[in-house]
Amino acid sequence: MYPKKFDYFLPGSLNEAIKLLHEREDSKVLAGGQSLLALMKLRLAAPAALVDITQVKDELSYIKKEKTHLAVGALTPHDHLEHNKVVGSLFPILVDAASKIGDQQIRNRGTVGGSCCHADPAADLPTAFLALDPKFVVRGTRGQRSIPSSDFFVDTFSTAVKKDEILTEIRIPYLPKRSGSAYIKHSRREGDFAIVGVGVALTVGPKNVCKDIRISLGAVAPTPIRAKSAEKHLKGKKLNEETIVASAEEANLEADPPSDMHGSREYRLEMIKVFTKRAVKLALSRV
């Protein structure tokens, strides 16, 4: 099906794009289009104007090692994140998540920034990022600001990015020595959205005592969330079968999952425990 009519703009620079977003009423950023065009084809979205930022790719598609963090440009395609060696060695959780998105064609075209700005609660990268507590850098007419991950996802399909702002970069702080990370997606078929997604980033001290841990959950609330009770349970404890299982029992305390055709609320609450256990173990195995 055809989308509804719209005006199309192809700015050559980021500043020009921001200006267009500011000036044009009911305008929207078009990145990979793998979510937005689908919504427009189904007429679930009908923006009056699209500001296509794919031309500013050189400015926004990169993965760079900085002093304190890894910088990922918003227009980096999922496929690049999946195959980047630096990402693979520092943040295997992101490879887990990127490689599980849709299919090869979607990963070729869809972008990291688009996935975060679309903010589907069942999407893979937002959940994985939440476990790494990055900063989201956005630019608008009033300049640049940096949004902590705890404030970025506001509601289903809604983020802290304002209408005339563009997400430019995600800054992921390096994990300390002796850290491991993992993301596990539970879905009925390959390529489906998650029924439950769990991200874990942990750091251990001597004798596998958990120095720090972040557990994130997807598809079980209006936004990706942190399983703070389970995190608290494990901090300072030795990580073994017993403590991991006990903490996983508490992993669903903050969740408020929906019931839909992919799984009932009760099923999801149960699966959170199962997949939290597995994700913590996988992350631990990668320390």
Ligand X SMILES: Cc1cc2nc3c(=O)[nH]c(=O)nc-3n(C[C@H](O)[C@H](O)[C@H](O)COP(=O)(O)OP(=O)(O)OC[C@H]3O[C@@H](n4cnc5c(N)ncnc54)[C@H](O)[C@@H]3O)c2cc1C
CB of 112 to another protein, least distance (A): 16
Site size toward ligand X, by CB under 6 A: 28
Task: State which H helix or E strand residue 213 sits in.
Answer: strand 210-218
CB of 90 to another protein, least distance (A): 23
Applying CB under 6 A, which of residues 27, 76, 84, 115 lies at the interface with ligand X?
115
> With contact defined as beta carbons under 8 Å apart, do 227 and 205 qualify?
no
Indicate the residue among 99 and 229 with the shorter CB distance to ligand X: 99
* Separation between Cα atoms, residue 26 and residue 6, nearest integer Å: 10
Applying CB under 6 A, which of residues 63, 106, 245, 246 lies at the interface with ligand X?
106
Which residues 11-40 are close enough to bind another protein by CB under 8 A? 30, 33-34, 37-38, 40
Which residues 161-200 are close enough to bind another protein by CB under 8 A? 190-191
* Count of C-beta atoms within a 10 Å radius of residue 267: 14
Of the candidates 135, 142, 136, the one whose C-alpha atom is nearest the C-alpha of residue 167 is 136
Quick one: DSSP state of residue 73?
Answer: E
Indicate the residue among 105 and 158 with the shorter CB distance to another protein: 105
Task: State which H helix or E strand residue 130 sits in.
Answer: helix 124-130
Indicate the residue among 38 and 48 with the shorter CB distance to ligand X: 38
As a 3-state breakdown, the chain gives helix, strand, coil percent values, each rounded to 5, of 35, 25, 35
Residues that bind another protein (CB under 8 A): 1-8, 10, 30, 33-34, 37-38, 40-42, 50, 52, 54, 79, 102-106, 108-109, 190-191
